Structures are given as C-alpha cells and as structure tokens.
Amino acid sequence: MAGIRESQASGSYEYNAEPAVVAGACQSALARIGKIKDVSRETGTINGVVDLGWFGNIGGGKILLRISRKGEATELTVQTSSGEGPLTSGGAQNALTKFMKALGEEKALSGKSVGGW
C-alpha cells in the first residue's frame, strides 16, 4: 500500500527478579493493554500486540519481549514495530511507552529495577 511505512523502537531493562517473575509481570501487563499472541518458555519470548486506540496505527503496535538471565539479574529486551499511515507516526515508540508504563504498575516488579534514575 502506498504511504505505509513501519516505525521501530526498542529498549533493554534489568530486574532483580527471577525470569519467571519478570515473564509473569510482562504477560499481565500486556494482557491489560493489548493481546498476547504467543509465549515460548523455551526461547524466553512473548509476542503480542499493544492496542494503540481507535485512531492508532495500522494493526496496532507489534511487540516482542525477550527475557533472559544476565548474571544475578534478569534482562528484558523489548522490541516494537508499527505500520504508519499518512496520518499516524511514532506508533512503535507509543507501544513501547505504553507497555513500560503498564509494566511499571505490576506489583511483582515493584522496586526490582536495576536501572538508575
């Protein structure tokens, strides 16, 4: 389709929690703001879609979460992408921001972030 392009955004975060705790919090957060499409414990990935609203981007914001052990911590890598139409922009960044806000509300991860301020 003419005029459709794709935006992408990503980020990595560390938590002082077991991978299963981080995965559970990610699933809970994603279920509240979108839809979980696939969960693979073997590869440590969760695929889904973040709802970007009625006038959101084409197909919503696709999200891929990778959860892995990193020393004593657990690393969460978030990758988002979104189709952009003529009247939309920043869908991937919006999806990333919306997911991280929802994840920040998960009590299981409260105070567990390794990152600085």
Q: Tell me: the pLDDT tens digits for 15-57?
A: 999 999 999 999 999 999 999 999 999 999 999 999 987 655 5
Question: Is 117 part of any domain?
Answer: no
For residue 39, the enclosing domain spans 5-107
Question: Is 86 part of any domain?
Answer: yes
Residue 108 or residue 2, greater confidence: 108
Question: Is 112 part of any domain?
Answer: no
Q: For residue 1, what pLDDT band results from cuts at 50, 70 and 90?
A: very low
Question: Is 58 part of any domain?
Answer: yes
Tell me the pairing of strands 34-40 and 45-50. antiparallel
Question: Is 79 part of any domain?
Answer: yes
Question: Is 32 part of any domain?
Answer: yes
- Give me the pLDDT at residue 7, please: 87
The rounded radius of gyration (Å) of the Cα atoms in the chain is: 14
Question: Is 113 part of any domain?
Answer: no
Cα distances (Å, whole numbers) of residue 51 to 11, 25, 57, 109, 112: 19, 18, 9, 22, 26
Number of domains observed in the structure of the chain: 1
What is the secondary structure of 8-54 as a DSSP string?
Answer: EEEEEEEESS-HHHHHHHHHHHHHHHEEEEEEETTTTEEEEEE---T
Task: Judge if pTM exceeds 0.85.
Answer: yes
Question: Could you count the other beta carbons within 10 Å of the beta carbon of residue 87?
Answer: 8
Cα distances (Å, whole numbers) of residue 28 to 45, 46, 48, 109: 14, 11, 12, 11
Question: Is 64 part of any domain?
Answer: yes
pLDDT tens-digit profile of 55-77? 555 567 899 999 999 999 999 99
In CATH, what number is assigned to the domain containing residue 76? 3.30.530.20
